[in-house]
Structure 1
């Protein structure tokens, strides 16, 4: 009985071990197309949006600026520069939202942010950080588009 159990255990190990190798499922072509390093990661620009210093009391003006903000997000996504954006719930630190850009430098990211009416007007301000994350992150956008019933 002991021999049968050891034999079965040996077979089980042979079946499971190939699935545990680092190469299992690896696609060099996909990794290269996404700019992945050996860990499947790459650098991005992470932007933390906070409440800006401007106070605009005209509600129509604020609405127009945020409409432009949303349109700018759409343009940056279409240009494959912005891969993640979203607001935060109300919080005491006045964090408003985040962006993750595919850009390589803070300077390039700042240039893109200058086209955002809500940032340009001072309603929002942006802090930019280098961020190391999964190179597969851009693959999120096509899937999101397939489940987004209402577009902003």
Structure 2
């Protein structure tokens, strides 16, 4: 079996994407839906309160127009999808992206991690993807919190 050749931008990050998703689905949020809600309230008794950074995790799933056939139209959409991801990375709005492999649910196609001011901005950018517009992919978006300073994306561009 031959492993498909993936674009350079994605192939380096597929393992990290899987780790991010595992961390996300294994973790839990506080009572009000954010990790800060679970952080200690009394600094004197429990030590310093943790600081969190927020990213927006965009899960890409097969959309209603997805088909396994590779046609010239599908190849064009895939090329436009890759160009969109590269633009998002160059803008600094997306810090990492990659496809999924070896998962139980074949509708999961990949993920992107956006660093934007709001979920609405992340959704707008993700939905500008030509593959999403064409219905080949659909997005699921959620806020993801990590303890400040634990994640670094040395190849990510600063936001413009």
TM-score category by the smaller chain?
Answer: 0.5 to 0.7
Tell me the equivalent position of 1:53.
64
Partner SS state of residue 140, structure 1: coil
Change (3 A) 1:46 1:65: same
Structure 2 gaps of 5+ residues are: 1-48
Tell me the equivalent position of 1:115.
128
Task: Give the TM-score, by structure 2 length.
Answer: 0.58
- Per-residue CA deviations over 1:106-136 (Å, capped at 9, x if unaligned) read 2111211232111111101100001002555
Higher helix content, 1 or 2: 1
What's the offset of the Cα at 1:141? 4.2
From 97, 121, 132, give the equivalent of 1:85.
97
From 35, 54, 75, give the equivalent of 1:43.
54
Task: Give the TM-score, by structure 1 length.
Answer: 0.61
Change (3 A) 1:76 1:141: farther
From 140, 145, 150, give the equivalent of 1:132.
145
Number of equivalent positions: 107
Paired with 1:77 and 1:120, the residues of 2 have a C-alpha distance of 19
Paired with 2:142 and 2:59, the residues of 1 have a C-alpha distance of 8
Partner SS state of residue 146, structure 2: strand
Query: Is the contact between residue 83 and residue 138 of structure 1 (CA under 8 Å) also seen in structure 2?
Result: no
Partner SS state of residue 118, structure 1: helix
Q: Which has the larger radius of gyration?
A: 1
- Per-residue CA deviations over 1:46-72 (Å, capped at 9, x if unaligned) read 111111111455611111111111111
What's the offset of the Cα at 1:91? 3.3
Paired with 1:120 and 1:65, the residues of 2 have a C-alpha distance of 10
Give the alignment's Cα RMSD to 1 decimal: 2.4
Structure 1 gaps of 5+ residues are: 1-37, 146-152
Query: Is the contact between residue 90 and residue 96 of structure 1 (CA under 8 Å) also seen in structure 2?
Result: no
